[in-house]
Amino acid sequence: MRPPKKEARERELAGEPISPGIVRGKVKVLRSPDEKPVLPGEILVARAADPGWTPLFINAAGVILEVGGMLQHGALVAREYGKPCVSGIEGAVSVLKDGQMVEMDGLNGIVRLL
C-alpha cells in the first residue's frame, strides 16, 4: 500500500514522502514540544508529533519525523500548513544535530546532509 522508499545515496537519509516541497535550513531537534523554540526557517526534527506540537509548525520550514505515516498528526499538520515533510527516518533525532544544514525533499522522501 506504500510506495517503496527511495534509495539513499551517500550523505542522504531516505524516508516516506509526506508533504511535497524542497527546503534548505538548519535542523532543530526536539524531544518534547516545550524543550526549546523553533526559529523561522528551521527544520523541525522529532520522533513524532501530537496536537501539542502544532504551534511549532508555524516557524518550521519543514518537518522530519522518525515514526508515523501519512495519517500521523504531524503529517496532517505539515500538509495543512504547506510544509515539506518526510517521515520514517529511523534515528533522526540521534543522527541529526541542532544547527546542521540539510535540504529536504518532501516529494521524494529524501533528506540531504549539507
Task: Give the span between the Cα atoms of 32 and 5, in whole angstroms.
Answer: 27
- Cell triple for 15: 524516508
Task: Give the span between the Cα atoms of 34 and 91, in whole angstroms.
Answer: 21
73 assigned to active site = yes
- The answer to whether the CB of 63 falls within 8 A of the CB of 81 is no
Catalytic residue among 5, 47, 73, 79: 73
| Catalytic machinery residues | 73
